[in-house]
Amino acid sequence: MTPMTLLAEAPVDRLGQSLDYEKARECDSVVDAWIPDWLRSGWEKSQRGECLDDEDVVCRALDFAYRLHDGQCRASGEPYILHPIAVAAILKDLGGSNAMIAAGFLHDVVEDTEVSCDQIEEKFGKEVRQLVEGVTKLSKLSFESKTESQAENFRRMFLAMAQDIRVIIVKLADRLHNMRTLEHLRPEKQILISRETREIFAPLANRLGLGQIKWELEDIAFKYIEPEQYQMMESLVTETRESRQEQLVEVTRVLGDRLEAMEIEDFEISGRPKHLYGIFRKMERQKKQYNEIYDIQAVRVIVNTKEECYRVLAVVHDHFCPIPGRFKDYIGLPKPNRYQSLHTAVIGPKGQPVEVQIRTWEMHHIADYGIAAHWKYKESNSNSKPLKGDDQKFTWLRQLVEWQRELKDPQEYLDSVKEDLFDSEVYVFSPKGDVYCLPRGSTPVDFAYRVHTEVGNHCSGALVNNVMVPLQRPLKHGDIVTILTQNNAHPSTDWINFVATNSAKSRIRQWFKRSRRDENLALGRSALERELGKNGLEALLKSDQMQKLAERCNYHNVEDLIAGIGYGETSVNAVVNKLRENNHNERYFNPQKFESRHEPAAHNSSSKSPILGLEGMVYSIAGCCAPLPGEPITGIVALGSSRGITIHRNDCANLANIPNDRLLHVAWNQRKENDQVLTYPIDIRVETIDRVGVLRDILTRLSDNKINVRRANVQTKKGKAAIIDLSIDISDRSQFDRVCSQINKMCDTLSVCRFVAE
């Protein structure tokens, strides 16, 4: 029988710990001191000028990186090559293949030296090139908007992960070593990097099951973001260490004796410290004191089989009093990151709570190495392959890749990413027994949209544990959820107010926008007519050029593009600008509007009149179409009226029945920098999801653009969209387009359009 291992608060193994920082700094040759034993032979060969075997891709990569980074230093003053060596050591401990370890050495050479990806492929093969290129692309994007930049980086990251999960493993190893050496940066840089690490990279490591990386990233980030709380937690843990050790030794002794008596072989019992940020976060979340947290001290029991796990659980509950409500079976119901273990909390010999975790050796490896356990413990390094993107254990990754095609708003996409990276806390079942992980507070509607978009769109009711429940009822662990659907059922605007997931909210909003397709098509066509005129528009819309433009804008056909313009998903200005990039299609942009009219004579550009050609004449702005500077206009001579000339938009329906001899071609005078800014009253209608504060948010955007609001009227009806009519003062068409675009980008907005008040 293999002897058991009894450990009390054993130190947590650190990835890449074979690299001795202190020893390296004391040596004459810092680089030599950092070369790990498994690479020393190849390294010494390269230093002697001997040729390395073509198959020894790892040693060749180290030698190549060493020569390229020669003379470069890090912020600490140490040779830059120490960073790639440390990253490669972390990947080695994770069980990475030779290609991954080589990519660890080379991950910065394309960005920091003159070497190209083609040269990487020529020297090290296509696989290494793809990994290095994937990591390099994640740090090369630049946008004016910080939100857009972050969202685009995440889109690229998840696409790279879906193609080859090893790319993000290399990126995490890179981030881990950068965090270990963060003390050499400026304080403001330390906080910025630590926040990004805690918000994105630590949850991402958790999602991939890389427990060791996740815990270390969180603790280092905690140290820099909240130094006072970090020191407090460190002090509390140190003060209670002696009493914890005594209790853990007693628990391990009792359990060890019983397991030996039961003839369970090859087991290990160890006491493990909880990482500091984990304790602090739990205290904050549960609003408890340090001594009220159950799992500050934990015992881990590792055995060979699942059956032995449950036998050990019986022993634990037989010898120590279990704490009610603290048992969790993650073996029968694994976490989304493949984590499996039995968790229970008991009262220890000294009357203090102790958490006990029970798992098999395979589960233990997965808990520490997550997805990396696939190649670390099941395949040789030379033949290791990444898990495929469609692995059922990582459906969340596939969903993020799918959602990025639908979510065009950067902030909305970021919300979805962060929601799905953090722990899902509710596990529910479909009637077929499939397990779904949802955020706490999720409802049957969230579940329906997680199953499929059409299931959510046609949801008419829900059964939870075979009992009909309201759609807004939060789901609990273990609920069996059945969604009732009907072909004529559709989402309600009330759903937005209670669903918990951003993905469900997005799909509900999309349904409302797309369900009004005829209306959106009319609005889109009207917008194009305003910009391009009616003549030639039909021919343009049927042309191959327009179809290619629609595909370029990620629409299946021209009709979808027009509808997208109608409900604000894309702007008419963006479409027209892309059309104008092709000079040979310029004829579509100069249609002869109102052919019977003559062009106005040249006018003095210094005229103070807002409208050219009407200097000294009486005119008024038509209320039926409310034209704005920047829009094509026509004057109507009003016979027998003191108003003189009435100014209409060229596309105003009232022009159709006016004789040509009463039409006067006019144009807006260009305003100079020092001219007085005139405003014109127009009415707009905003259709939006009804919620508290939506009018305030719209008025805020108007105020930010210095737009006066003359009148506001809100109409609401339960279960339907809210209608907000606003009378506002606008200076020109560009200001109008800008504010409408900002309102349209609000997550609750369904449509924005002009209208004529009764």
The catalytic residue positions are: 111-112
Give the pair of three-digit tokens for residue 591. 């249609």
DSSP state of 534: S
Q: Which of 740, 755, 349 is nearest to 571 (CA)?
A: 740
Backbone region of residue 77 per phi and psi (left: phi > 0; alpha: psi in -120 to 50; beta: other values): left
Measured at the alpha carbon of residue 174, what is the angle toward residues 171 and 180, in degrees to the nearest 5? 140
Q: How many other β-carbons are positioned within 10 Å of the β-carbon of residue 538?
A: 9
Furthest-apart CA atoms within the chain: distance in Å: 113
Residue 525 C-alpha from the chain's centroid:
33
Lookup: tokens for 439: 């955020």
323: enclosing H helix or E strand: none
Report the alpha-carbon distance of residue 243 to residue 225 in Å, rounded.
Answer: 30
Q: Is 645 exposed, middle or buried (0-12, 13-18, 19+ CB in 10 A)?
A: buried
Which own/partner pairs from 364-369 qualify as long-range (CB within 8 Å, at least 24 positions apart)? 364/300, 364/302, 366/209, 366/338, 366/339, 366/340, 367/209, 367/211, 367/339, 367/340, 367/341, 368/13, 368/210, 368/211, 368/212, 369/94, 369/95, 369/209, 369/210, 369/211, 369/212
Sheet holding 645-649, edge to edge: 619-621, 645-649, 633-637, 663-665
Three-class DSSP category at 711: strand
Residue with tokens 């905690």: 222
> In terms of Cα–Cα distance, which of 152, 19, 134 is closest to 82?
19
Q: How many Cα atoms are found within 13 Å in the side-chain-facing hemisphere of 695?
A: 14
As a whole number of angstroms, the distance between CA 562 and CA 525 comes to: 6
Q: For residue 423, which of 229, 306, 278, 223 has the smallest C-alpha distance?
A: 278
Render 587-600 in DSSP notation, one character per residue: GGG---TTTTSPPP
Q: Is 426 helix (H, G, I), strand (E, B) or coil?
A: strand
